């Protein structure tokens, strides 16, 4: 009896991992179809026209800044130079204890202004609002500390345009990215409420005057593994989910929103670690509940680059934070699970996400312990279990390779040695990071949710990376 139970537990675990990998492969196939269609639309669309057209929606870029004195000036510069017809930049200083405000005031000749506005979302008090005397559409909101979400909300209150994009001060946005993202608002103005961009690891690339001048792969294994991971998430998974109307995360690092929609659902929440996913889920729930047609889409060609952790310690903290954020969101939106009222999200997207993102670490971790244990104690025959485990790992590796293939059309890493390195790390990811990540995410489940975090990642700042104008520094 016990033997049979143990046997089936083993098969259950191995089967689970196999199904998970199969699901990823299916998703990658859906992504492939979506990317092809998107590519077709893009080629026959009017991207060039959008760059100069009067119908292109004006966008407010909101940059929340907490102790960003190192990189904030360079970040504003590169944002102001993006290729887009009508932009407004709102930097929100979230009660920094450093010279973030002073740096901006000096660099851009900013002066305090009287700026009457009616706050649509409640935030911590605003101390002062500055405007640049240079011919730059730049506004600085100096407010008391309230967290990243609170800062974005203050930016929304002050913004003048009907669409906004929230980003991080250390993101490097590609010149055409805004146009690629805004295209979706133009194509379906009535229904589109949010567009998520494609976030890529910056490590290894050359940065010059606040923009990526030479894309290359990072050298350190820890960074390479993340590169492979990001490619899988942003190219093999998100296009597929997006095409199925089930994009559950619009990245906080690159998310463009219809302002009225975000205000309608009450703005970003401060009590969530993953405020970007929480907002995306809230929008889904809101519109599905109201039975109002809407779209939340992913734009793979809207690219922004960010530095990913280069030490295991910081990566560990980041992953634990992400997983805890996920737990909060799952708890918040548990009512949507298998609820037919929420259609494709309730029945497919959300349950699949929970089963394979949230539960996976526990099953996989137990699997690494129980399966070898069962083999050692003779409950399970190695001849059966080992091939299954290898099949699961192989399938995982195939998935990584498939996503590399999907990424190839973007042409960032075209050289032979780059392809080989990507291939190598696609396989290596499954022996190393995967297990560590599983352990971290398992550990993340035991915590005290009352702790508040603004973000543990140590910032070197875009200003640091780019050096003085014209100078080149290799990052990573």
Q: Name the site residues for another protein (rule: CB under 8 A).
A: 76-77, 80-81, 107-109, 131-136, 209, 469
Q: With respect to another protein, which residue has the nearer C-beta, 174 or 276?
A: 174
- Of 125 and 135, the one with the shorter C-beta distance to another protein is 135
Write down the least CB distance from residue 107 to another protein, Å: 8
Sequential DSSP letters for 8-68 = HHHHHHHHHHHHHHHHHHHHHHHHHHHHHHHHHHHHHS-HHHHHH-TTSPPEEEEEEESS-
Tokens found for residue 428: 């290596």
Output the smallest distance, CB 101 to another protein, in A.
18
> How does 325-341 read in b/e, with b if 16+ C-beta sit within 10 Å?
bbbbbbebbeebbebee
Of the pair 77, 148, the CB lying nearest another protein is at: 77
CB 346 → another protein: shortest distance, Å?
46
For the record, the structure tokens of 229 come out as 């991971």
3-state secondary structure of 127: strand
- Sequence-distant (6+) residues with CB within 8 A of 383 are none
CA-wise closest residue to 228 among 431, 4, 88, 469: 431
Name the 3-class secondary structure at 450: coil
Contacts of 438 (CB under 8 A, 6+ apart): 360, 361, 364, 365, 368
Q: How many CB atoms lie within 10 A of CB 409?
A: 13
Which is nearer to another protein, 432 or 469 (by Cβ)? Answer: 469
Q: In the bound complex, what is the minimum distance in angstroms from residue 47's beta carbon to another protein? A: 17
Q: Residue 115 CB, nearest distance to another protein (Å)?
A: 15
Q: Coil, helix or strand for 152?
A: helix
Distance from chain centroid for Cα 388: 33
The vertex-32 CA angle with 219 and 295, nearest 5°, equals 105
**Shortest separation between residue 123's beta carbon and another protein, angstroms:** 27
**Residue 145 or residue 464: which is nearer to another protein going by CB?**
464
Name the residue nearer to another protein (CB basis): 110 or 375.
110
Q: How far is the CB of 163 from another protein (least distance, A)?
A: 21
For another protein, the closer CB: 107 or 382:
107
């Amino acid at each position: 009896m016990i033997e049979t139970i143990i046997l089936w537990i083993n098969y259950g675990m191995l089967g689970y991992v196999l199904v998970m990998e199969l699901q990823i492969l299916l998703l990658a196939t859906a992504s492939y179809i979506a990317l092809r269609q998107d590519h077709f639309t893009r080629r026959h669309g009017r991207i060039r026209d959008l760059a100069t057209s009067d119908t292109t929606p004006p966008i407010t870029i909101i940059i929340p800044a907490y102790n960003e004195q190192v990189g904030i000036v360079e970040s504003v510069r590169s944002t102001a130079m993006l290729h887009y017809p009508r932009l407004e930049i709102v930097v929100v200083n979230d009660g920094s204890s450093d010279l973030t405000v002073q740096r901006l005031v000096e660099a851009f000749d900013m002066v305090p202004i009287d700026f009457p506005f009616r706050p649509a979302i409640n935030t911590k008090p605003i101390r002062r609002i500055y405007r640049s005397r240079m011919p730059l559409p730049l506004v600085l909101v100096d407010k008391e500390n309230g967290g990243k979400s609170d800062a974005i909300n203050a930016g929304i209150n002050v913004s003048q345009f009907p669409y906004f994009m929230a980003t991080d001060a250390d993101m490097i946005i590609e010149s055409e990215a805004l146009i690629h993202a805004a295209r979706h608002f133009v194509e379906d103005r009535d229904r589109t409420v949010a567009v998520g961009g494609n976030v890529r690891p910056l490590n290894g690339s050359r940065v010059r005057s606040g923009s990526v001048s030479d894309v290359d792969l990072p050298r350190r294994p820890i960074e390479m593994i993340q590169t492979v991971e990001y490619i899988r998430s942003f190219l093999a998974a998100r296009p597929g989910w997006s095409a199925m109307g089930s994009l559950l995360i619009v990245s906080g690092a690159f998310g463009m929103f219809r302002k009225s929609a975000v205000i309608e659902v009450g703005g970003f929440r401060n009590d969530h670690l993953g405020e970007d996913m929480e907002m995306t889920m809230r929008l889904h729930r809101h519109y599905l509940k109201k039975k109002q047609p809407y779209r939340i889409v992913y734009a793979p060609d809207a690219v922004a680059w960010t530095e990913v952790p280069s030490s295991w310690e910081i990566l560990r903290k980041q992953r634990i934070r992400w997983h805890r954020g996920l737990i909060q969101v799952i708890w918040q939106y548990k009512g949507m699970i298998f609820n037919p009222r929420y259609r494709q999200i309730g029945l497919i997207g959300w349950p699949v996400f929970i089963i394979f993102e949230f539960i996976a670490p526990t099953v996989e971790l137990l699997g690494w312990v129980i399966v070898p244990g069962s083999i050692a104690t003779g409950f399970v025959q190695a001849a059966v279990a080992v091939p299954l485990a290898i099949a699961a790992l192989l399938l995982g590796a195939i998935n990584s390779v498939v996503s590399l293939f999907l990424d190839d059309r973007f042409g960032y890493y075209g050289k032979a040695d780059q392809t080989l390195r990507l291939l190598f790390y696609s396989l290596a990811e499954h022996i190393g990071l995967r297990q560590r990540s599983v352990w971290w995410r398992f550990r993340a489940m035991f915590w005290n949710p009352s702790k508040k975090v603004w973000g543990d990642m140590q910032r070197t700042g875009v200003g640091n990376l780019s050096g003085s104008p014209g100078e080149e520094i290799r990052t990573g």
